[in-house]
Structure 1
Amino acid sequence: MPRLITPFFPLFFFFTLASSTNSTLSQDAVSLLSFKQNADQNNKLLYTINEPYDYCEWQGVKCAQGRVVRYVVQSLNLTGFFSPNTLTRLDQLRVMSLRNNSLSGPIPDLSPLTNLKSLFLDRNNFSGSFPPSILFLHRLITLSLSHNNLTGSLPVQLTLLDRLIILRLDSNSFTGSLPSFNQTDLKVFNISANNLTGPVPVTKTLSRFKPALFSDNPGLCGEIIHKQCGHRSRFFGGSSNATAPLSQSEESQGIVVVPSSKRNKNHKKTGLVIGFIVAGFIFLAVSTIIVIALVKKQNTGEKSESPENLQSSTSPAMEVLEVRTENDTKVKKMEEAHKSGKLVFCCGEVQEYTLEQLMRASAELLGRGNVGATYKAVMDSRLILTVKRLDAEKTGGTSGEDFQKHMEMVGRLCHPNLVPLKAFFQAKGERLVIYEYQPNGSLFNLVHGSRSARAKPLHWTSCLKIAEDVAHGLAYIHQVSSLVHGNLKSSNVLLGEDFEACVTDYCLAFLTDSSSTEDPDSAAYKAPEVRKSNRRATSKSDVYAFGVLLLELLTGKHPSKHPFLAPADLQDWVRAMRDDDFSEDNRLEMLTEVASICSATSPEQRPAMWQVLKMIQGIKDSVSMEETELTGLS
């Protein structure tokens, strides 16, 4: 009669098996029994041993070529916990389902399961935050964590799991904003019954799902679920009470939402008393303002209405970008000041709006960089644009004619990995560059923005995809024109609707004064020959910046923290930052080698950008071949 293995059966017998000639096979048995020991308190898994390697016949186990590739033990009333270093040793596992049990405690580190395609942990009692190790399972097609007790915010990096077809996170206690899911193949999606807040990002994917799949999240709003988020102020003039629906994840963009008017909460008597007090203060304040205004008018006369003041260093166009409310008089002055300028649409762009409509749009400051300040502008037609105001002090050395010719050349560039340049504008003391809006933030925010000091860098397959996208964009600029980017950095790489990496601010460095003060965040990307002599950027300095960017991707460290190392020592440093096993993943070594070659001190030693692209595509091809071989096993 076969001997029954109870949860308390000692495991030394199976560790003895692990030391035999077929140690790889017996290690899978050890992993299964280690899981059973802590997860099967009621002894529901009746595993028996007739021969050393009959575990492939155990309940819920399926093997291929002697390795466990599928483990499904669902609805068995397992009442223990999912112990670390048990099932996670099954490195050939494709499917894991522990659904509809009573497992409790946190979900352990699943990152070793690099071949996992389907993960079902729903309808248990798992607690803790969203397991960050899932972000490293880049072959996942199905992820179901619904009906647990998981808390905390959903990581933005979830959007990088671009193969997902099924994603269920409903009936937990997740908080914070909803990431901008836009996986092309996502068919099943549910985040209902959580505590998520903020606007639902308007992406092609999320727009396909019914509002019920977002329900029971009292703080969620947006057009997808037919719930208005609130009011936004006008930055470009017009009524301060004008509204525009929030159609993107504004919290991730750092956008301030103006709250709606307060409700009356006081009783009638209390309100009456407060009303008298407020009226008294208002009367006193109005009197004071009138006196001050009369004195000011007497001192200044009509000076504030003179044409010279309309051409001051703070131009009317940017007043409307930086001031939340403008009255009709100021808008008229602004329009008069811009009669001398013209909004020029780039080659192939349809004129969808006028300068007046652009300046009346609502807008938010997204950030300030080495070239200028960047704003998100929302038109009355719901069209969203990115408007960059060039720094007058740094670009003032370029004549209006040279600016016009240069921007016309830049406007002819068109590539999927370049943020499309829509239009540009210049008038006296004012230059604007208008781009297509990218909804998912920058690469800088992805790598550094929401990651803790102890978080792992991006998975190497994500690094590979982003590196290929950026290399495509740079190689295109270098091959079809005489232009160069000149200011490549992670904040100038944006993520598009499908989370493709798109390069922005390209070719604007030509307009800046090379002797101007360097942005500290940009200095580390500069090639030695450019940094030391204030020379103009070249295609080889773009390659250097790309190498620095690739190291930033691989390590998660800002370039200002990169040590100066010989190529032989660079692999060890990247290994230490990632804590990866390089012996099993030589593609990561190859990516580090590409970064090392690109960031060579001498420009003559650096390859051309098209050669860098070929290297990265070669690494990608080797990954595709391996995946084809693994698919044959599943």
Structure 2
Amino acid sequence: MAAKVFFLFLSLLFLHISLNHATSNPDSEPLLAFKATSDSSNALATWNSSSDPCTTWVGVSCTRSRVSRLVLENLGLSGSFEALTGLTQLRVLSLKRNRLSGPIPDLSNLTSLKLLFLSYNDFSGDFPASVTSLFRLYRLDLAYNNLSGEIPETVNHLTHLLTLRLEANRFSGSISGLNIPNLQEFNVSANRLSGEIPKSLSIFSESAFAQNPGLCGSPVQNCKTETDPTRPGGAIASPVIPARNPTVVASSPTSLPSSSTSTKSEKSTSHHNGGSRISPAALIAIIVGDVLVLFLVSLLLYCYFWRNFAAKMRQGKSSSKLLETEKIVYSSSPYSAQPTFERGQMVFFEGVKRFELEDLLRASAEMLGKGGFGTAYKAVLDDGNVVAVKRLKDAQIGGKNQFEQHMAVLGKLSHLNIVSLRAYYFAREEKLLVYDYMPNGSLFWLLHGNRGPGRTPLDWTTRLKIAAGAARGLGFIHSSCAPLKLTHGNIKSTNILLDKTGNARVSDFGLSAFSPSTSAASAPRSCGYRAPELLEGRKVTQKSDVYAFGVLLLEILTGKCPSAVVDGGSGGGYGGLVDLPRWVQSVVREEWTAEVFDLELMRYKDIEEEMVGLLQVAMACTTAVPDQRPRMSQVVKMIDEIRGVAGSPPHEGFDSMTESPALSEDTCGASQ
């Protein structure tokens, strides 16, 4: 008997512990309350009081044991979701395509909410006023419901909002006061709105305003205008207003026309028209005077415009000389004036169509950009071939032999994710490097170019692909010639180029061997990517490359330029530049990890886990202690795991010399 009592006691104790464990999560109660009132079909069967919501509950995702994401779409849920307003850590809420009804409850407790999707339900009542207090909101979708009333101008308080979808409701009134600066997706079609479309919303397509007969202005039909015979053209550029009774006049006598004034005017006109005629002599004098005035005016105009034209001509000649100089960008042929000096020659690597220096001199040239070692140009040769040429100006080269040996190593590196060196030219006062031309620009331009309305954002899949490709390219450089321990030395977004198929290609590698100095002052434009040890004057290493690559990943994730100048130079960076790793670490420390991500990425769903994964890789790469940073081969594997793709193909492995068959131990040793 005593044994049975003891066994019963243990059972009750175990049940009590289980229930305490299940109810220890403060989010369990509101979730179970919602299930009790809205899940008549038991679609949420995995939700039960005996388990933790962060384990197996369908549609529930957690961060630090609190529910942060709730996606319950197309499950036949009904009634109200007021119980869910107790999930104070919720960041994503999607209840699309259910049968929820009634007014949208007060959401002001959901201060962390970023994405809210309530479309395709039966919600009624006014626009939820509490939504306008959710200042972190990026996406708001209330489409296909029965909401009515006006759209309040307090929506303008949602300054981070990227998406606002309100179509297929019964909203009425004006939207002329709406002005949300970052809005990228907008739709109010199929409502009962009226009035003029504000300029801030006219950038959206006509379909965003369709089926609102009362709306007018760009991009739909122009607003009708009244005619006013007292104005030139008779038009008033304002929407139609119901006409007032034309028989009603103002009671003030001053508003009536003055008969005496009118009479005086008529008499004056009559006198002017019917008075004495002008004599022939006076008429001739008037004509001569007009001719003289016209002549003087013409003379003055002629002198004025001729002086400006002459100045522009002089300036044009000067500009044309500059353009001509810029056209012959590679060399002004200094050797022709020194016949005793031996000219250099173009040295080509395998599989490259040969050409001479004169071909480059004749080529149509376009500047691509200036870097730490010189200026890069796009050159179109006479035969139509296009190459990129870097003219080395700031490099410290010990001598011809050292230069040629180093180029022999770089020229034999071949990989899908690096920009191949095709040829070089060496002379006493001219050093040229010839590369494959990459037609799709740089990562820098894709991330930072044309920020504002009309910009095509760089999507997450492409960013992750570019990051993976750049990692492979840098990893290949690090492992391709083990005795030399090759480095890049200048990893940054302007040196990650894209070929015609969109593959990321690492450019400008191997030039750090000619760097005059590694101090911070020597390369202020690259400071944002430089490892802390380089700022102390140490040499570039593969570990410092890993740090710079980590900063590059942060740039991809945040959309912020690491070398952006801070006002007053007090941004916590080096030399007045943003220290991006330090900023990210401070934000993450405050447990606002989501705040570091680029606003343009918030439009994409189901990528939060991948972004956090890549952020962890970036933070590992930017560790202050060099020995604690991963090797690039490890970085490649981590990014591949985030992408969910298989590991590197055998020919792209990083632990062997077989990736570039032309490289041998002799070749590597040649430049030692």
- Give the structure with higher Rg (CA): 2
